[in-house]
Structure 1
Amino acid sequence: MSPFIYSLLTHDCKPVDGSNIIVTFGYDTTVIVPIKDNNDTACRYEVDHLSEWCDTNNLLLNADQTKELIVDFRRNTDPHPPVHLKGTAVESVNSFKFLGVHISEDLTWTTGCSMLVKKTHQRLFFLRSLRKNHLSSEVITNFYRCTIESILTNCITVWYGNCSVSDRKALQRVVKTAQYIAGAPLPAIKDIYRKRCLKRAGKITKDSTHPAHTLFSLLPSGRRYRSLRTRTTRHLNSFFPTAVTLNAS
């Protein structure tokens, strides 16, 4: 009940500025603030306001566990002075783990993929132990789906589209190794990604209250969805343009 009660207590925790976003999930709270023309006043004011709100509602912000991540793709960037939380400077990091997904300042997924591969390699030991004990391929496959594939595909619709070729090959090598151990065919990572995208898109198109429902607009023919306009490759390979394209094909 603790996460549920926490959600009830924090339902009125809202950003001061309409352009800012506060995301609360369980005990994690994330503040997203766009910075224009190197003016981070809104960011600092938002952090101060959140700190005051926590004090009013008898909640404690741990400055040691709070991290700052700056995403800036400009060629010439000026260093930002650290954000302070009750007099303590918040540590600025290059990447951090958010709800099980490693997010980097350049929005690449090499760090996250490396951690996934490392974690799944540890699980392959148990897969080999099952084979040494002469368990059936069906049992080994079920074990793989529960303990390895579930890790490899965690939030896959978020990050796989923008993975590098080397990252995708590293992930697929894990599947090939598991397939050799199990002695049975296993679904490729890219096929799981496409399936998850279509499944998620199907839920969004059926839910008219979903914030992204309007992104899936049908063409006059009524058979295909209208492609989304994108300016960058990063946006083109992200979930929504990919899901629209897959539904159109």
Structure 2
Amino acid sequence: QIPVVRTSKKWTSEAVGELQGCLDCTDWDVFKSTTNSLDEYTDTVSSDIYFCADSIIPSCTRLSYNNDKPWFTAKLRRLSATPPPTPHPSHLSPQEEDVNSLFKRLNTCKATGPDSVSPSLLKHCANQLSPVFTDIFNTSLEICHVLACFKTSAFVPVPKKTKITGLNDYIPVALTSVVMKSFERLVLSYLKDITDPLLDPLQFAYRANRSVDDAVNMALHFILQHLDSPGSYARIPFVDFSSAFNMIVPSLLRDKLFQLNVPDTMCSWITDFLTDRRRFVRLGTHVSDLQHISTGSPQGCILSPLLFSLYTNGCTSGHQSVKLLKFADDTTVIGLISARDESAYWGEMDRLVSGCSMNNLELKTVEMIVDFRKDPAPLPRTTITKELKWEQNISSLAKKAQQRMYFLRELKKFLLPVKMLVNFYTAIVESILTSYITVWFAAATARDKAKLQRVIHSAEK
């Protein structure tokens, strides 16, 4: 495929030192004293920062190929050893050291947002920029207003295939302000501290020490425990929402947050965060007109997944024989039926549909799978027989892993370093073999384990 020429900044130590000196000499109070508008104050600060960086940091060009992969960059594999700062639940007041720490942990390989303030700039000049942005963050929280430049999203269409035949061949990638993402991380930690004890215990997404494996394990536990009783069976429909994040109504979310003991000032700030957002499409040098939107939780924002979880927190089962498991917007209803009495199950299904309608959530019915077999797979992304055995699932995993081993062999021919080959194996092959391993490994037979072991031995050669 034809490579693309891209321009990027070259963050040398000399240029960074010069930029830091320039920002050290900047009197941020001058910007604040010339206006009473927080939006104008922030826009002026962001523009001055961008001007300094653009003038001082040299640019360089490089060829970019479509098969560039993130695991070739060591920085993308670096994990932070320090957890995000934990603010006091009663009041969020970001401190300069908190903002400084977030800026220094930014991934410099991430894209720049619409405000042109890059993660490299924030990371290299965290000491110089954290004071002014701490002031902006605290003022924003105090007046319950999110700046217009922080609520702007640029949508960049990324091709899914080489030959484009229509709009469906593009993936819309949303770019938002990197500064705002750091701000959102502070708010995210604050919201989790308040709401986590009140969240539905069967919501497994975006929570500490919870994963999709736990959701599958819990579902199997409910099913197997129930099937121990004679004359029992289970019904398991999978519920999917249409454009789930886009259907959140800010006024309804505010009421739900208030019920979860979120302070009124934070409820107002989040409502403003979701209201009058601006977005545009950027394709090369072409930019569309701004579109204003006040519904939904924006794509590409740090807060969006948690806000949806809080929005649907009241979507629970009211009957002991019906379990409702959630992983973000993926919902599984498990009806544990005895003596052919399905009244409770159908009652909870009607209640779920009614609740979705009241909360502006639309069930996806355009794409449905109607299966009249007696042994369909009851869990997504797994293969399980009607006897609840895992032979087919393990065979499928081994087959996928063997297919990906081809790429590992091809990379080995290019005499790549062993460390890079190990990283590739871990990310591409081992991730397949260990998929849901906590669910099926204990029930795997010696023959099943031998299939997986053959893949591992093949990779060791």
Distance 1:102 1:4 in 2: 29
Name which of 377, 387, 393 aligns with 1:95: 377
Q: Deviations over 1:120-147 (max 9, x none)?
A: 1221111001111112333322221121
Equivalent residue of 1:7, what SS?
A: helix
Give the TM-score normalised by structure 1.
Answer: 0.57
Q: Is the 8 A contact 2:321 2:337 kept in 1?
A: no
Q: What's the offset of the Cα at 1:36?
A: 0.5
Q: What's the offset of the Cα at 1:19?
A: 3.1
Equivalent residue of 2:318, what SS?
A: coil
Q: Percent identity?
A: 35
Q: Deviations over 1:54-101 (max 9, x none)?
A: 11111112246566xxxxxxxxxxxxxxxxxxxxx7866610442x43
Distance 1:46 1:139 in 2: 51
Letter aligned with residue 450 of structure 2: K
Q: Is the 8 A contact 1:63 1:90 kept in 2?
A: no
User: What is the 5 A alignment of 1:138-177?
Assistant: 138-177=419-458
In structure 2, relative to structure 1, the CA distance for the partners of 1:127 and 1:153 (3 Å cut) is: same
Distance 1:155 1:95 in 2: 15
User: What is the 5 A alignment of 1:72-111?
Assistant: 94-98=376-380, 100-111=381-392
| Residue number in structure 1 paired with 2:201 | none
Is 1:135–2:416 an aligned residue pair? yes
Letter aligned with residue 120 of structure 1: A
Distance 1:165 1:60 in 2: 45
Distance 1:122 1:96 in 2: 26
Name which of 378, 389, 406 aligns with 1:125: 406
Letter aligned with residue 95 of structure 1: A
The worse-fitting range, judged by mean Cα deviation, of 111-120 and 143-152 is: 111-120
Give the TM-score normalised by structure 2.
Answer: 0.32
Letter aligned with residue 377 of structure 2: S
- In angstroms, what is the RMSD of aligned CA positions? 2.3
Equivalent residue of 1:14, what SS?
A: coil
Equivalent residue of 2:317, what SS?
A: coil
Q: Is the 8 A contact 1:64 1:90 kept in 2?
A: no
Q: Is the 8 A contact 1:15 1:22 kept in 2?
A: yes
**Which structure is larger by alpha-carbon Rg, 1 or 2?**
2
Q: What's the offset of the Cα at 1:3?
A: 2.8
Is 1:41–2:343 an aligned residue pair? yes
User: What is the 5 A alignment of 1:1-249?
Assistant: 1-63=303-365, 94-98=376-380, 100-180=381-461
Equivalent residue of 2:324, what SS?
A: strand
Q: What's the offset of the Cα at 1:171?
A: 1.2
Distance 1:166 1:16 in 2: 43
Comparing both chains, which one has the higher relative contact order based on Cα–Cα distances under 8 Å and sequence gaps of 6 or more? 2
Distance 2:399 2:314 in 1: 40
Distance 1:121 1:115 in 2: 10
Letter aligned with residue 349 of structure 2: V
List gaps (5 residues or longer) in structure 2.
1-302
Equivalent residue of 1:102, what SS?
A: coil
